Structure 1
Amino acid sequence: MTTTTKPATPVATTRSRRPRAGALALRQGRLEITQFLRSRESVVFTMGFPIIMILIFASIFHGTIGGEVKVTQYFITGMIATGLMTVSFQNLGIWIPVERDRGMLKRYRGTPMPKWVWFAGKVIMVVVIGIAETALLLAFAVALFDLDLPGTAGKWLTFGWVAVLGVTACTLSGIAISSLARSARSGSAVVTPVSLVLQFISGVFFVFTELPTWMQQVATLFPLKWMCQGLRSVFLPESFGAQEPGGSFELGRVAMVLALWCVIGLVLCLTTFRWTTKRDG
């Protein structure tokens, strides 16, 4: 009697592969961008505010500043800086309390996803929207107001590092200040006044050197003033630096202050950020 043995059925072994860190961050970044674009009010305000403001300035003010710089050429620097601050500091400071109040952050913390991926997604969203907003503003200003773009690689390089340091400082500060809001409704009340005051004292809406001395001194404590000053070195002639409070554009000090605010913002994020509201414990 012969016994036939059936061949053993091979067991399919599937090895689950975890996505790489970069892929996780990009996936979270796409999600954050999608969520941002779905909020029409945020898109219109963030992308349109700098354009609307430069339109207003061009309609009200005419002539030159210091006898050599067009009004739009001067104020475009403030509009770029305030646009970058809006998409980073203001948007994050307002929307993170909403996510915290709705329990989204609490649920995220309970997943196996590394916590840093959530922060990376926010950073990617800020960078992408900030680049799009700045490009749109520059295209608009060139087309309608004959804006003179930087003509050398060195100035574009300065534009790059000022924008990177400024956005980093504002992003970290936005995440940090979000912890001050006790609820979703209070986020705007906490962040918007701070943002407006900084814009008024930092040379966004007025020629910085025409502001009262005490306002100038207060503005030097915060990154927006230094972002505007660094961008003026990019879009204005070198000779205009003599009209700055320090007698030059002081790019070394610009880099130092913005880098210091990156450190301050990071420390505040690490020590104050909350995933849940106080009522959740």
Structure 2
Amino acid sequence: MTTLTPPLPSTLRTGLSRGAVEIKQFFRERDAVVFTFALPSCILIMLGFIFDEPLEGYAQVHASQVFAAGMIAYGIVSTAFISIGIGISGDRDDGTLKRLRATPATAGAYLIGKIVLVAVTTLAEITLMLAVGVLLFGLRLPTDAGRWLTFGWLLALSVIACTLLGIAASSLARSARSAPAVMNLPVLALQFSSGIFVNIAALPAAMTAVSSVFPVKWMGQGFRSVFLPDALAAQEVAGQWEHGRTALVLAAWCLLGLVLCLATFRWTDRRTS
């Protein structure tokens, strides 16, 4: 009598199960949770209190509110790019990926699990940052559906792009020990050159031209368009919010990130490959 072997779970189902495991593991590491969530909010608090004067020509808007809106981009980069890149480097270094490779789990299922973790941590991070912006700096939440719709597609494209790029960048680190330096260096440079940590209107044209190639500048600009008055668009490089161009640039980085993931993802580190 022939017995039928039940089919293996789909990649999506396995990935969602893996995502639940990732979330449990993440929240069990209290120091990682505190660091991941606290750093962007702490930087926002410091910048907000240092630069809390009204903007010239816009008496109703303070510089701290501009930082609070744009810093959402850094919160996403922190959870979707830095944390994921460091986490995958750690999994590769301690043999977690090697052990997973011996199971029916595919690379796609593993990456879906990481995306699930990013989605949860990013939502928690943004909620915390918005609370800081509203309670400490008077940031106003949008009241019309159009701005929240813009927030939705900005968030989705930003998270996907940063997650895929973080996965790809994890292959640049030779070990888990070097991963934080590898992941943080480009992020730190882009936060300044993209107008996240400073007023973008004060940056040299050459610097903003270079930063416009990368997603962080468009993420910051997009989130400022959601939470700030439309008159503040004049402070941007092009003098407008450029929603269409923002969507195209972020979508292009999503595609590029996917290509880089497929080309660079490794189950083992360089020392054993």
Superposition TM-score tier, normalisation by shorter sequence = over 0.9
Q: Which residue of 2 aligns with 1:46?
A: 36
**Cross-structure match for 1:3:** none
Q: After the TM superposition, which segments of 4 or more aligned residues of structure 1 sit over 6 Å from their partners? A: none
CA distance in 1, matches of 2:198, 2:138: 21
- Residue 36 (1) aligns with residue 22 (2): no
**Residues 1:109 and 2:124 are matched in the alignment:** no
- TM-score, normalised to structure 1, is 0.90
Partner of 2:16: 26
The number of aligned residues is: 270
2:246 counterpart of 1:254: yes
Take 2:207 and 2:196, find their aligned partners in 1: how far apart are those partners?
A: 13
Cα distance between partner residues in 1 of 2:11 and 2:263: 24
CA distance in 2, matches of 1:130, 1:47: 9
Q: Hey, what's the Cα distance between the residues in 2 that align with 1:180 and 1:15?
A: 41
Change (3 A) 1:173 1:21: closer
2:11 is the counterpart of 1:60: no
For the aligned residue pairs, the C-alpha RMSD in angstroms reads 1.8
Moved more, 33-42 or 269-278: 33-42
Q: Aligned with 1:117: secondary structure? A: helix
1:277 to 260, 269, 273: 269
Q: Given the alignment of the two structures, is residue 98 of structure 1 paired with residue 90 of structure 2, yes or no?
A: yes
In the TM superposition, what are the counterparts of 1:1-281 in structure 2 within 5 Å? 16=6, 18-19=8-9, 21-68=11-58, 69-281=61-273
- 1:106 deviates by 1.1
Give the CA deviation at 1:15. Answer: 7.5
Shift of 1:184: 1.4
If you compute each CA radius of gyration, which structure gives the higher value, 1 or 2? 1
Gaps of 5+ in 2: none
The Cα of 1:148 is off from its aligned counterpart by 0.5
Paired residue type of 1:43: V
CA deviation profile, 1:139-168 (whole Å, cap 9, x unmatched): 232223222011210000101111111111
Q: Which amino acid aligns with 1:52?
A: C
Q: Which runs of 5+ in 1 are unaligned?
A: 1-10
Deviation at 1:26, TM superposition (A): 2.2
| Structure 2 residue matching 1:280: 3-state secondary structure | coil
The 2-side partners of 1:203 and 1:192 are apart by 17
| Separation (CA, whole Å) in 1 of partners of 2:99 and 2:201 | 49
Higher mean alpha-carbon deviation, 168-177 vs 184-193, is at: 184-193
More displaced 10-residue stretch of structure 1: 259-268 or 110-119: 110-119
Q: CA deviation at 1:234?
A: 0.5
Decide which moves more: 135-144 or 217-226. Answer: 135-144
Q: Distance in 1 between matches of 2:52 and 2:68?
A: 14
Aligned-partner Cα distance in 2 for 1:94–1:194: 14
1:228-247: CA deviations, max 9, x gaps? Answer: 01111101111211221112
